[in-house]
């Protein structure tokens, strides 16, 4: 078995491991509000999220193609196989560290920063596809801002519409609605997040001359969807606790507003083939809803710690990827 084939297999395994970890790392965000309001029992929420993530992952491929070609050009990437493997190792490492400490950081930031860091280590800053890379960074920056604003607006509308309704009855009704919105948010999560590993595998296949286009092969799509679904079934209880209770006290009406916001922003990004951080979007939608509900009710200390993690993820994952690249380059 030649070295290129071995490295390609390692990349495929690593990408599926990344999707598996993403499943229990990021999917917790999609169901956190439904679990915290007791709209769904944790076990039922996990099963629902796993099924809907799997379905969402099979539905689209546009984001995968963006990951394949918009950060670096796989057709001219120097030491491409080592770059991709180093990026995966860095992204997985950072995801596990943040999961261990229960910090809802971004798998998208980790992966995109890692690809950029490894590519720069291999061929300098000229290795980046600046037009595509800047477009992706803009999406990562503006999507949580948009989620905050939309969450604020949606909940403000809810406050006006339901202000004279019986609170207990309204919460019971919204608790039922939350089952549907949690399913919707899990589906949209799958449409965006699972595609990132698909893009990585496709990039490796191009770099190693196993395919000549950026089309996503069916086996890649199915295997990534399966990995994310299995990862989701494991659950991410530490992150559920942070997102579901440590940002604000979430009631069913808050949860529905946040879920609708998150699903709308994520699916909008998927429709225009842009990868976004589902973690950032969902957490920011909760912050927007919380600000509209009662500013003092938001635990801004938790929000500040999350923001710091978001900011440092790109440079840390890029640095880790560069280190992994130099280490791997000694052996291959």
Question: In this predicted structure, what is the pLDDT of residue 229?
Answer: 85
Question: In this predicted structure, what is the pLDDT of residue 1?
Answer: 60
pLDDT reading at 65 higher than 70: yes
Q: How far apart are CA 6 and CA 67, in angstroms?
A: 23
Stretch 230-254: mean pLDDT: 66
Question: In this predicted structure, what is the pLDDT of residue 238?
Answer: 55
Stretch 239-243: mean pLDDT: 54
Q: How far is CA 77 from CA 80, 131, 168, in A?
A: 5, 16, 59
- Give me the residue spans of the domains in the chain: 3-331
Give start and end residues of each alpha helix (H) in 101-217: 107-123, 130-161, 167-207
Q: Which two tokens stand for residue 322?
A: 């560069």
Residues 181-232 have pLDDT tens digits of 989 988 998 999 889 999 999 999 999 999 989 899 999 999 999 998 888 8
Q: Lowest-pLDDT range, 14-18, 53-57, 163-167, 236-240?
A: 236-240
Report residue 128: phi and psi, to 5°. -75, 145
**Which pLDDT band holds residue 254 (cuts at 50, 70, 90)?**
confident
Q: Give the torsion sign (CA, 205, 209, 214, 217).
A: negative
Q: How far is CA 28 from CA 193, 199, 233, 239, in A?
A: 13, 23, 10, 6
Question: In this predicted structure, what is the pLDDT of residue 138?
Answer: 93
Question: In this predicted structure, what is the pLDDT of residue 237?
Answer: 57
Q: How many CB atoms lie within 10 A of CB 296?
A: 8
**Which pLDDT band holds residue 244 (cuts at 50, 70, 90)?**
very low
Alpha-carbon dihedral of residues 10, 16, 22, 28, nearest 10 degrees?
-150
Q: Which two tokens stand for residue 7?
A: 């490295």
Question: In this predicted structure, what is the pLDDT of residue 85?
Answer: 95
Stretch 303-332: mean pLDDT: 89
CB 154 within 8 A of CB 260: yes
Q: Give 281 or 35, the one with higher predicted confidence.
A: 281
Residues 260-287 have pLDDT tens digits of 999 999 999 999 999 998 888 988 898 8
Q: Give 154 or 34, the one with higher predicted confidence.
A: 154
Q: Which of 239, 210, 199 is nearest to 111 (CA)?
A: 199
Q: Give 35 or 269, the one with higher predicted confidence.
A: 269
Stretch 2-18: mean pLDDT: 92
CB 250 within 8 A of CB 258: yes
pLDDT winner (highest mean) among 24-38, 97-111, 212-226: 212-226
CB 275 within 8 A of CB 265: no
pLDDT, mean over the chain: 87
Q: Which two tokens stand for residue 316?
A: 């840390």
pLDDT reading at 72 higher than 70: yes
Question: In this predicted structure, what is the pLDDT of residue 146?
Answer: 96
Residues 283-316 have pLDDT tens digits of 889 889 989 988 776 777 767 777 787 789 999 9
């Amino acid at each position: 078995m030649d070295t290129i084939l071995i490295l390609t297999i390692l990349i495929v395994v690593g990408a599926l491991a990344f999707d598996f970890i993403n499943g229990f790392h990021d999917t917790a965000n999609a169901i956190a509000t439904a679990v915290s309001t007791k709209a769904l029992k944790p076990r039922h929420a996990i099963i629902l999220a796993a099924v809907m993530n799997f379905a969402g992952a099979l539905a689209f491929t546009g984001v995968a193609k963006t990951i394949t070609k918009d950060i670096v050009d796989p057709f001219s990437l120097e030491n491409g196989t080592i770059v991709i493997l180093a990026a995966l190792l860095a992204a997985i490492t950072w995801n596990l560290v943040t999961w261990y400490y229960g910090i809802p950081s971004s798998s998208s930031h980790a992966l995109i920063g890692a690809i950029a860091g490894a590519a720069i280590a291999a061929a300098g800053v000229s290795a980046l596809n600046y037009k595509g890379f800047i477009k992706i960074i803009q999406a990562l920056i503006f999507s949580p801002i948009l989620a905050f604003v939309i969450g604020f607006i949606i909940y403000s509308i809810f406050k006006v519409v339901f202000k004279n309704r019986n609170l207990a009855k309204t919460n019971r009704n919204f608790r039922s609605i939350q089952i549907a919105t949690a399913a919707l948010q899990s589906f949209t999560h799958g449409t965006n997040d699972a595609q990132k590993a698909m893009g990585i595998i496709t990039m490796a296949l191009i770099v190693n001359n196993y395919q000549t286009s950026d089309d996503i092969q069916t086996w890649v799509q199915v295997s990534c969807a399966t990995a994310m679904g299995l990862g989701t079934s494991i659950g991410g209880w530490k992150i559920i606790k942070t997102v579901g209770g440590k940002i604000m006290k979430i009631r069913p009406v808050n949860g529905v507003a946040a879920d609708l916001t998150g699903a709308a922003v994520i699916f909008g990004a998927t429709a225009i083939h842009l990868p976004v951080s589902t973690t950032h979007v969902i957490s920011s939608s909760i912050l927007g809803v919380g600000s509209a509900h009662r500013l003092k009710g938001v635990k801004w200390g938790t929000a500040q710690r999350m923001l710091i993690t978001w900011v440092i993820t790109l440079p840390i994952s890029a640095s880790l990827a560069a280190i992994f690249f130099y280490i791997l380059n000694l052996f291959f």
